[in-house]
Structure 1
Amino acid sequence: MTMSRAEAEDLARQGVEALRRGDGAAARDCFNRIIAARPAGFPLPWLALAQAYRITAETAGETEALQAQLSEQPRNIAALLLMGDRKRLDGDDRAASNFYTAALNQAAVTRDVPASLHPLLRQAEAFKREASERFTAHVEAAITGAQAPRVARSLDLLLGRRELYLQQPSMFYFEGLPQRPFYSRHEFAWVAELEAATPAIRAELEAVAEGFAPYVEGNPDRPLPNNPLLGDPAWSALHLWRGGEVVEVNASRFPATMAALAKLPIPRITGRSPMALFSRLTPGTHIQPHHGLLNTRLICHLPIIAPSGCGLRVGADVHEWRAGELVIFDDSYEHEAWNRGTETRTVLLFEIWKPEIDESERTELTRLFETIDAYGPAMIDQG
């Protein structure tokens, strides 16, 4: 049959009135007549039909109507919410969570979400929390006892107890390296000798009263870094090697420290490395989350003065410095540091190649980095 737009509008009004008085059968019949006729230029009332089927407890019809609406408009917030609610009533937590998540994500990027949907969005959020708790209980009841460390960490990711972080260097990403935020100090044969030099390094540091400058500095030829610690001595550095060159005025006062550094596998890249410095963080200072330039290196911290209340987060893992125990981490992960104690924290900071990068790759990467820097001033880590 053919149906004019005026006839379709009249039937739609009758259907809406039937919904308001709770007459699902009458509403269903009105909307089905419109859908069967498919009047030209008239939107098909799939959502209204779904609501009519909800009243008449015709679950299959309600589901089919919602599927039809989502086939036409996959990101229709109302349809996603109603389908999530349908799956909730069906007892399908996973499907309900999927539809609710899609609705919430779409609402987050949609301007002027109708106020009528706000209660349903809040219901979706509450359901997702409850469903997550049920899923966690289900898994933990079945997976009991100690797990292997990697299984345990992956389980925490699955259950939302741990956030996933990946390498995201701000300048250069080297393909194929393992995703490891921290490396064990026991993996490197040279660590023990360096750690044994901590007392001598500390003695030299305590004998020096000046030489520290703000870690984050501006370059007048470049935009200033967007860092709240720009020019702030609360996070300061005393450079021994900088941009591949010895900082003689400082290095001459640290003979034991320089001798210890000379034995380490620090990269040699013209204009860039070696780099080695003392990094000082005063009480109450917070280095905001950020990423380093490269994922080809590891940053090493030898804690010289490590009071309580100081910490370092790399990805999802948090570490507290302990004096004389080297910390080795990949700074291409999001990382941050803080001093919540009452004393200043100082570490000796330097970089090494990642052990997974072989000698031939190191040679090629060195040439590549030198070529990049030859195009203009080298990019400098500013935290």
Structure 2
Amino acid sequence: MSDQAREEALAQAALAALRGGDAAKARATLAQMAAPPPMLLAQVCNRLGDRDGEAEALRSILAGDPRNLPALLAMGHNAQARGDDRGAISWRRTALAQAAAHGAPPQLQPLLQQAQDAIAQSSQRFEDHLTAAIRDLPSLPRIALATDLLLGKRAIFLQQPSMFYFPGLPQRAFYERSEFDWVAPMEAMTDAIVAELAAVRAGAPDFAPYVQTSKARPAPNNKLRDDPSWGAYYFWQSGAPVPDHAARCPAVMAALDHTPMPVIEGRSPMALWSLLKPGTHIAPHHGLLNTRLICHLPLLTPPDCALRVGAETRAWHRGEMLIFDDSIEHEAWNRSADTRVILLFEVWRPEIAVEERAALTLLFQAIDQFGPAQIDTGG
């Protein structure tokens, strides 16, 4: 009998012994081979409870074929048997990713489902473990967010302005009203502003579309382009007041005087009433700049309306300012039966020093002098 024939015969005998329930005999048979099949050896070791031997055999497979699906699944099971939940998750996620990318034979589908179920169970155990560790701490929002990110319950969103990025600024989605001394005096004027809004809308309930096609630029890829479902009534536009609107709404203009709005020729200030009709959704997008914060003073606030910035969603409440970084992915919606209206404006980010603001003003003016200013079609 040739060496090859002998090896094949021993492998078949070991397989028969394993199928017959005699794992010890199967292992003894494999020990007679010069090169026992690694997966068969791993299965025998598994049946005998030899976790080290099983892992060694599986690693020999993965050394030559790092994406071998059966070996990846078996390594996940091996890690689980050792009590290594996080290791088991890692092996199983790799196996599931491999199957998703390249497919898997039908006979492996039950094992893939088992891996998915095991990941969910291990993840829950990990979450319970972390929750128990910090259960007695006071409410710490950043710790809660960091924990959710670790658990994969929320995603990381960073500044990605579509036109200009200023480095070194905090990655914060929302700022709090209490951080700015100009907010309270402005919020106190909400009733007067709402009265002006009612008077304006009594004559024209719709505003011009927020996103409009410009003759000087390609049409923006925005489903709400030229659609008054998202309307705008400007008080400051492209750095200049809108005289008729400003004259009709002195309370709005007085309220805006409280704010540190940028003054950049041809660009800022920018302030408007933003109207969102029932059933309207502003798709996820990024603003032009990260040098500003966008402020919303809510005026008409039906239920089922909200703003998501990054991983956090907040509802509008009449007279309570929302302040956020629009260079982080954000979206908004009105799922109610009534119209939502806010006073929207921009302010300098507080972290930018006075001399940097002056330099940025010159820089933005130079950018705009080179050609038509880029239109913000999604703030």
Compared CA separation, residues 246 and 29, structure 1 to 2 (3 A): farther
1:367 aligns with 2:362: yes
Does the aligned pair in 1 maintain the 2:288–2:376 contact within 8 Å?
A: yes
Is the contact between residue 31 and residue 49 of structure 1 (CA under 8 Å) also seen in structure 2?
no
2:57 aligns to what? 65
Matched residue type, 2:174: F
Aligned to 1:41: none
Q: Which residue of 1 aligns with 2:97?
A: 105
**Which residue of 279, 285, 293 maps to 1:284?**
279
1:132 to 112, 119, 123: 123
The alpha-carbon deviation at position 306 of structure 1 amounts to: 1.8
Q: Which residue of 2 aligns with 1:207?
A: 199
Matches within 5 A, 1:37-116: 45-108=37-100, 110-116=101-107
Q: Note the alpha carbon deviations across 1:303-331, whole angstroms, 9 max, x for none.
A: 12222332222222222222222211111
How do 1:342-361 residues align onto structure 2 when only pairs under 5 Å count? 342-361=337-356
Measured in 2, the distance between the counterparts of 1:236 and 1:29 equals 79
Secondary structure, in 3 states, of the residue corresponding to 1:207?
helix
Identify the residue that residue 176 of structure 1 maps to in structure 2.
168
Query: Counterpart of 1:303?
Result: 298
Partners of 1:272 and 1:203 lie apart in 2 by: 29
Q: In 2 relative to 1, CA 141–195 (structure 1 residues): closer, same or farther, beyond 3 Å?
A: closer
What residue is the counterpart of 2:135 in the other structure? 144
Cα deviation per residue 1:63-98 (whole Å; 9 max; x = unaligned)? 001122223333333322110011112222111011
Q: Aligned to 1:165, which of 129, 138, 157?
A: 157
Structure 1 pair 311–71 and aligned structure 2 pair: CA distance change class (3 A): same
TM-score, normalized by length of structure 1? Answer: 0.85
Q: Which residue of 2 aligns with 1:231?
A: 226
- Which moved further from structure 2: 84-93 or 56-65? 56-65
* Residues 216, 372 of structure 2: 8 Å contact kept: no
CA distance, structure 2, for counterparts of residue 279 and residue 71 of structure 1: 59
CA distance in 2, matches of 1:133, 1:75: 26
CA displacement 1:320-379 (0-9 Å, x = unmatched) = 222222211111222222222222111010001110111122222233333333443333
2: distance between equivalents of 1:335 and 1:199?
Answer: 28
Relative distance call for 1:225 and 1:31 in structure 2 (3 A) is: farther
Letter in 1 for 2:293: L
Structure 1 unmatched ranges of 5 or more: 37-44
**After alignment, is 163-172 or 331-340 more displaced?**
163-172
Partner of residue 42, structure 1: none
Are residues 86 and 369 of structure 1, via their aligned partners in 2, closer, same or farther at CA, if it must alter by over 3 Å? same
In the TM superposition, what is the alpha-carbon distance from 1:207 to its structure 2 partner?
Answer: 1.8
Give the direction of change, closer, same or farther, for the CA distance of 1:221–1:129 in structure 2 (3 Å limit). Answer: same
Match of 2:189 among 192, 197, 213: 197
RMSD value, Cα: 3.0
d(CA) in 1 for partners of 2:47, 2:329 = 51
Q: Would the aligned equivalents of 1:32 and 1:49 in 2 still touch at CA under 8 Å?
A: no
Q: Is residue 2:224 matched to residue 1:254?
A: no
Q: Deviations over 1:248-303 (max 9, x none)?
A: 34333323322332442111223321111110011222222222222221100111
Return the alpha-carbon distance in structure 2 between the equivalents of residues 348 and 123 of structure 1: 52
Q: Comparing 147-156 with 232-241, which one deviates more in the overlay?
A: 147-156
